Chain A
């Protein structure tokens, strides 16, 4: 069994989650057992699967695992199902607080309970309990499937003190404590697994807990267990420190160095620093491009194989879909699909569009992606400021995150990418697979492999948005060139066909079987 380890599978997904989803589709198509393993607690995880093609069989959350809640039939729990203490039940006043999405319950004018519901439903999300002096002391969080999955207990100063993760039958599966550490900061101080196969276990950190969970999965797996670290900062320690025999794979989803364009000398990307400095604890590395594999091999000289497995898979249905010619798309439409964060440098793209507009008045730019909240949304604010300064409010639109990009790809003409670095960039691959022409900085890794200069788009020097603007003008003034590059885009996507990608995975699985199964 292959296990692809990550932190979660949220509604708003980053490239790593999208890569996992594509990979899962590939494995399911080839009927090779695989699961996405998530580390973090999320009461809406299984409900959020409706935004993917995953089923409960395809995903395993570590808390669900210990809570015996990997497969639970959803049931409806409404506020009326929440028990009101019988001895005060006759004198209870219930109020709906619409802007907070909860009901408040009062006895003798004192609040004793608050029931929050999931948005636009009457399904209970949480129940807040207050003591007789109206201190909040406990919050019960409900899993979207209709059972209490977490009891959260509070301190008198309204901080979380202790949490109990419950099984659907109400028994305690995990306890999590928050205490002062040695620097007197309140932090998670302990996880206790309770009654797991009849035993209790103590862990200092969530990484130790995840390590235990992964070991248990490996121990019970009749096949060779292959663990792929898809989000190193979350899972690499746990995988590296597993005690059960397993094939461990470090997946580089992004550049391994801070300056992706100086791979031999730049400092290491903190996401991969621990993993790369412990290559003896891994069995293999995955990179998305050959260029990255070559750079890693040159600098680290690993004694383990590096598999080049593009994170994107272009489904057969896409490869054979009816092509949309450029003259049937929105003329002058440039798109970007990226979260609005510093490393994406979307202000450069806005500037390029602004400059091109002087020659191409109908050029427009739509940016799809969620806004990074770091530093109080500094980057989205910066992008908006540039849009305003250049008078592009009617030209450049921040469209937010969307799960439905197909119509976007089928109506756009050019995909712009101005990142400082990339690990692959799935969106770019999706775009070219739908015939969108790629305009990208010469950035490691992915964009300068996916885009082939003069075949399916152009590669411009890093930071040279003036050149990118000139390219926009050249493309939009020359419909034949635009169509030629679009045809090239459709064609180049075949490199990422399901069969081609699967063949690379087969290589990795064969290596695992050879090295682990034979040593068992």
Chain B
């Protein structure tokens, strides 16, 4: 079995999710047994599967595994359906579509939050004492069962989380207590009555190692493709079993760390997304000879899908993938847009990025507003927003170093949209190698010149589209399979 490891299918993992979809499709197409394996607790995972177009039967989550809820029939219980709620004792008060309350003679007993996009399906129930303190929070899985409970310390810090199986028995607990600096942190996981035994783990990494070992213990063909090595390498380094392990990096945030991770005896090979990344690693260590695979393929359906040709796209809308932590790049694109607007007054820009907790989006909007670009420059950080922006775009820019991966280029290929990458972007050499266009300067003038040139120069547009068409022929799933086959065989 091939196991495609990721920390989660969360909305923050746009790049990894797209890569996983690519990998899952190619292995399934070629009849290789394959599963996506996720580590983090996510009671919305099945909803994420729906949103991503992934069959939830193709995914195993650590918590689901121990909870015995990998495969569960979907229900959509409302508060009125939950048998433990005494409708005789408590009044259920509606408060619009988002929440309800349980009250006893006016006193608030519980707040019932409703799942987004549903009619009354219970999301979580928070119980209060008479002083208004939260006693506990019961969390429901998207599939309609109580999955976990959170308890707080009196100071409001998270204290314990209990996870349950379908019979309502606790199977796992996470404890939060003091560390040496008197900060409340997760200190241990206790797996209870798993195959009649208890287990104690000091971290989620250790628990994930144990889980993976359990998953593969009867599988001598086990192959792990680790899509979040930054988060998961520690776990695979401590496996008791000996599967083949491939660390699949999207970006080289820290080449030295990649080398450290890769040199462990458990690791079979390292895979990077671009040949330039491989070159960087080779420069840092003669031991590491990474394989290059771009998770970039188009199915027959996608190759022949309808699309809106660039000539029919009405507006001068441009999408730019950027990384808001790269402040210079952000400043350059805003400056460039002033220059673009002088020549093309209706040019509009959508800045796309992955969600990043380090980014203060309020500050981002303030900077945009300071340039009087409120109605001209938009920001999206979610998959739907990106899809929508791309659907009307005439050009996709790749601005900063870690803004996108080769998989992101599929936006260009699906809708035949020209691509331009600055010299800063990791994608610049890929785009160049694919014949889609030479790197452009990272400064404002260079960016503006490239945008104006493409929007105003119809032959250049046509040439760019033609280059895309040509490159598309190299993106068949068969070629992509061959790349993986070479690694796996």
A199 B133 Cβ-Cβ under 8 A: no
Which A residues are in CB contact (< 8 Å) with B109? 202
A189 touching B131 in the complex, CB below 8 Å, given contacts A135-B177, A199-B89:
yes
- Residue A161 at the B interface, CB < 8 A? yes
A199 touching B136 in the complex, CB below 8 Å, given contacts A131-B187, A177-B129, A189-B130:
no
Which A residues are in CB contact (< 8 Å) with B129? 177, 179, 189-190, 204
- Residue A75 at the B interface, CB < 8 A? no
Expressed in whole angstroms, the minimum distance between the Cβ of A101 and any Cβ of chain B is: 24
Separation of A181 and B179 alpha carbons in the complex (Å)? 27
**How many A-B contacts if CB must be within 8 Å?**
115
- Residue A98 at the B interface, CB < 8 A? no
A83 touching B131 in the complex, CB below 8 Å, given contacts A137-B175, A161-B154, A199-B84:
no
A87 touching B199 in the complex, CB below 8 Å, given contacts A132-B188, A135-B177, A156-B178:
yes
A198 B83 Cβ-Cβ under 8 A: yes
Most central of B129, B135, B182 by chain A CB within 10 Å: B129
A178 B198 Cβ-Cβ under 8 A: no
Contact with A along B225-261 (1 / 0, CB 8 A): 0000000000000000000000000000000000000
Expressed in whole angstroms, the minimum distance between the Cβ of B230 and any Cβ of chain A is: 23
Expressed in whole angstroms, the minimum distance between the Cβ of A184 and any Cβ of chain B is: 10
Separation of A276 and B187 alpha carbons in the complex (Å)? 53
Give chain A's interface residue range (CB within 8 Å of chain B). Answer: 35 or more
B85 A199 Cβ-Cβ under 8 A: yes
Which A residues are in CB contact (< 8 Å) with B89? 199, 201
B104 A202 Cβ-Cβ under 8 A: yes
Q: Which B residue's beta carbon lies closest to that of A154?
A: B177
- Residue A50 at the B interface, CB < 8 A? no
Contact with A along B190-210 (1 / 0, CB 8 A): 100000011111100000001
Contact with B along A196-217 (1 / 0, CB 8 A): 0011111010000000000000
A132 touching B154 in the complex, CB below 8 Å, given contacts A161-B159, A177-B135, A189-B133:
no
- Residue A86 at the B interface, CB < 8 A? yes
B154 A186 Cβ-Cβ under 8 A: yes
B131 A182 Cβ-Cβ under 8 A: yes
Separation of A135 and B159 alpha carbons in the complex (Å)? 13
Which A residues are in CB contact (< 8 Å) with B201? 87
- Residue B70 at the A interface, CB < 8 A? no
A87 B187 Cβ-Cβ under 8 A: no
Which B residues are in CB contact (< 8 Å) with A112? 200
Expressed in whole angstroms, the minimum distance between the Cβ of B164 and any Cβ of chain A is: 10
A161 B151 Cβ-Cβ under 8 A: yes
Which B residues are in CB contact (< 8 Å) with A195? 84, 168
B135 A86 Cβ-Cβ under 8 A: no
Separation of A175 and B134 alpha carbons in the complex (Å)? 13
- Residue A278 at the B interface, CB < 8 A? no
Separation of A88 and B197 alpha carbons in the complex (Å)? 11
Separation of A87 and B202 alpha carbons in the complex (Å)? 11
CB contact between A84 and one of B104, B151, B153, B198 (< 8 Å): that residue:
B198
A86 touching B199 in the complex, CB below 8 Å, given contacts A133-B179, A180-B131, A201-B86:
yes
- Beyond contacts A161-B154, A179-B135, A192-B135: 4 other A-B pairs, Cβ-Cβ < 8 A, are A85-B198, A131-B175, A137-B160, A153-B151
What are the 7 tightest A-B residue pairs by CB atom distance, in nearest-first order? Answer: A85-B200, A135-B177, A189-B129, A132-B202, A190-B129, A131-B187, A86-B197
Which residue numbers of B lie inside 8 Å of A, CB to CB?
A: 83-86, 89, 104, 109-110, 127, 129-131, 133, 135-136, 151, 153-154, 159-160, 168-169, 175, 177-180, 182, 184, 187-188, 190, 197-202, 210
